[in-house]
Amino acid sequence: MANPLYDRLFGRYAGKTSVFLQLPEGETISHTAFLEMAARYAHMLRELGVTAGDRVAAQIAKSPQALAVYAACAQTGAVFLPLNTAYTVDEVAYFVDNSGARVVLCDARNEAGMTPMAQACGAALETLNGDGSGSFADKAAAMPTTFETVSRDEDDLAAFLYTSGTTGRSKGAMLTQGNLLSNSQTLAEQWRFTSDDVLLHALPIFHTHGLFVATNITLLTGGQMIFLPKFDVDLIISHLPGATAMMGVPTFYTRLLGDARFTKDLTKDMRLFVSGSAPLLAETHVQFEERTGHRILERYGMTETNMNTTNPYDGERRAGTVGFALPGVEVKITNAASGETLSQGEIGDIEVRGPNVFKGYWQMPEKTAEELRADGFFITGDLGRFDDDGYLHIVGRNKDLIISGGYNIYPKEVELLLDLEDGVLESAVIGVPHPDFGETVVGILVADGNRTPDIAGIQASIGKSLARFKQPQKLIVVDELPRNTMGKVQKNVLRKEFGALFQD
């Protein structure tokens, strides 16, 4: 029997005592020990009534045990549903109810609140804690260390990932075995991963970046992971000398740059730093290269597609861009109204087609039809353009487009100028309701800590580069920008906070 996802990521390590995970305290877990843990968990899932195609929801802390749940789902043919550990019980209730999850795993601290929710949804509830304890692990300890892998094929579902739901109820993106495997194989080749690599892993594993990119690539190529529970500057710095690669979000790199211990000597054995999940400031690119001699590789992906584009491993890694389409993936810029492909340099909707593109939204055929064209192209909701050299620039989200007095304004254009101003660390530009123009531009600034931004001076400066209708009618300084767990600025939160600025 064949099960491509399990066979290629996990099964091939059967009987191998090579190190798979290095933990912060110095402990290591071999491939064999990990597979035995996953097999016990697979038996436990079966005991709980899980069969192929059933959903298993997990709101649990990052740990080797949490990763073994993923492997157990692959081995039993279950659909893995990792959930953000910050979600409330009410939020989890929606995901469990909507997915029809058969089993829910949670931290023991949340058991009392989760129990009535699981009962109402008809799901079995077990606990699994960050230290590996909990009812699920305790019961699994008595299970056999081998499990007969359930047969599946590449078109079968492997995971649900729910979108953030900033404009409505979250949608369950259905990802197949083929989606995950094709993307991991392509990325491993593009980024030159081999069995000699040691990946410094500080990302969460309830998200594409940490689970389906970082972890899958390591499993596919036979490397090791230094598996940290979360991002911690001290831990990162102490483990960097033993790593060859690191994947992170922009805040990882800005925080490292803020520590004097982060030096060229510390990173001398590293070969690759990858950034994604949120835009990386051009200034961070420059500072990082000056400090370490390394050029961060930025790429572009999303929940529904995994990775779509990447800056080149060999060649210019161009700041402010996300590079070129991955082999086998098509990316085009289209007119939102007509769907027609636009010329190079024109801004429009980014559409993607390839083996990485998801199957659709769970139980949302209308929404699937809206965003997934009959020819296989997925309308990402991102706005972008190709420059003269073919690099893709992300301009912003379609929903963040500002229409003022009938004119289209792309926030990224304004943000790039604001970020260059003295005293500004970073910025976010939003549209807010305006009685005359429908919407108008507001800039939210974060000071760089060296000086207070000169609001009048900044407005005068950008006025030389921007048409009047694009210029912010108001600039506001805040301590920090609201971000989600992957570092993306939550502009919906800013619009809610500052949306009444021009209302009577």
Report the pLDDT value the prediction gives residue 166, as an integer from 0 to 100: 45
Q: Is residue 449 part of a domain?
A: yes
Mean pLDDT over each residue of the chain, to the nearest integer = 92
pLDDT band per the 50, 70, 90 thresholds, residue 485: confident
pLDDT band per the 50, 70, 90 thresholds, residue 412: confident
- Taking alpha carbons only, the member of 306, 366, 340, 349 closest to residue 159 is 306
Q: Is residue 324 part of a domain?
A: yes
Do 383 and 238 have their domain in common? yes
Do 145 and 212 have their domain in common? no
Calculate what percentage of the chain has a pLDDT beyond 70. 98
List, for residues 256-265, the tens digit of each pLDDT value: 999 999 999 9
What is the three-class DSSP state of 219?
A: helix
Examine the fold and report which residue of 153, 181, 209 is the final residue of a domain before the chain moves on: 153
Say which CATH number the domain at 389 has. Answer: 3.40.50.12780
Do 259 and 144 have their domain in common? no
Lowest-confidence pick of 29-38, 147-156, 274-283: 274-283
List, for residues 426-477, the tens digit of each pLDDT value: 999 998 888 767 789 999 999 998 888 999 999 999 988 887 888 999 999 9
Q: Are 199 and 223 in contact (CB under 8 A)?
A: yes
Q: Is residue 177 part of a domain?
A: no
List, for residues 199-240, the tens digit of each pLDDT value: 999 999 998 999 999 999 999 999 999 999 999 999 999 999
Do 364 and 419 have their domain in common? no
| Burial of residue 400 (number of CB atoms within 10 Å: 0-12, 13-18, 19+) | buried
Report the pLDDT value the prediction gives residue 409, as an integer from 0 to 100: 83
Q: Is residue 186 part of a domain?
A: no
Vertex 78, ends 154 and 366: CA angle to 5°? 70
Q: Is residue 193 part of a domain?
A: no
Do 9 and 143 have their domain in common? yes
* pLDDT, average across residues 53-68: 97
pLDDT of 25 > 60? The answer is: yes
Report the pLDDT value the prediction gives residue 164, as an integer from 0 to 100: 62
Q: Is residue 214 part of a domain?
A: yes
Report the pLDDT value the prediction gives residue 160, as an integer from 0 to 100: 95
List, for residues 125-171, the tens digit of each pLDDT value: 999 999 999 999 999 999 999 999 999 999 999 999 998 654 457 89
Q: Could you tell me the strand order of the sheet in which 424-434 lies?
A: 424-434, 438-447, 474-478
Examine the fold and report which residue of 397, 423, 447 is the final residue of a domain before the chain moves on: 397
Do 480 and 420 have their domain in common? yes
Examine the fold and report which residue of 332, 364, 397 is the final residue of a domain before the chain moves on: 397
* Region at 132 (left for phi over 0; alpha for psi -120 to 50; beta for the rest): left
pLDDT band per the 50, 70, 90 thresholds, residue 504: low
Q: Which residue has the higher pLDDT, 337 or 123?
A: 123
What is the three-class DSSP state of 172?
A: strand
List, for residues 330-382, the tens digit of each pLDDT value: 999 999 888 899 999 999 999 999 999 999 999 999 999 999 999 999 999 89
- The amino acid at residue 319 is A
pLDDT band per the 50, 70, 90 thresholds, residue 52: very high
Q: Could you report how far apart the first and last alpha carbons of the chain are, in Å?
A: 68
CA atoms within 13 A on the CB side of 449: 2
Cα separations (Å) of 397 from 349, 368, 409? 9, 18, 12
Whole-prediction pTM value? Answer: 0.85
* pLDDT, average across residues 107-112: 96
Say which CATH number the domain at 454 has. Answer: 3.30.300.30
Do 250 and 369 have their domain in common? yes
Do 393 and 451 have their domain in common? no
Report the pLDDT value the prediction gives residue 167, as an integer from 0 to 100: 46
Residue with tokens 């129990």: 115
Do 387 and 405 have their domain in common? no
Do 386 and 479 have their domain in common? no
Report the pLDDT value the prediction gives residue 1, as an integer from 0 to 100: 59
DSSP letter, residue 295: -
Per the structure, the complete domain to which residue 471 belongs is given by 401-498
Calculate what percentage of the chain has a pLDDT beyond 90. 78
Do 379 and 409 have their domain in common? no
Do 46 and 65 have their domain in common? yes
Q: Is residue 364 part of a domain?
A: yes
State the total domains in the chain: 3
Q: Is residue 265 part of a domain?
A: yes
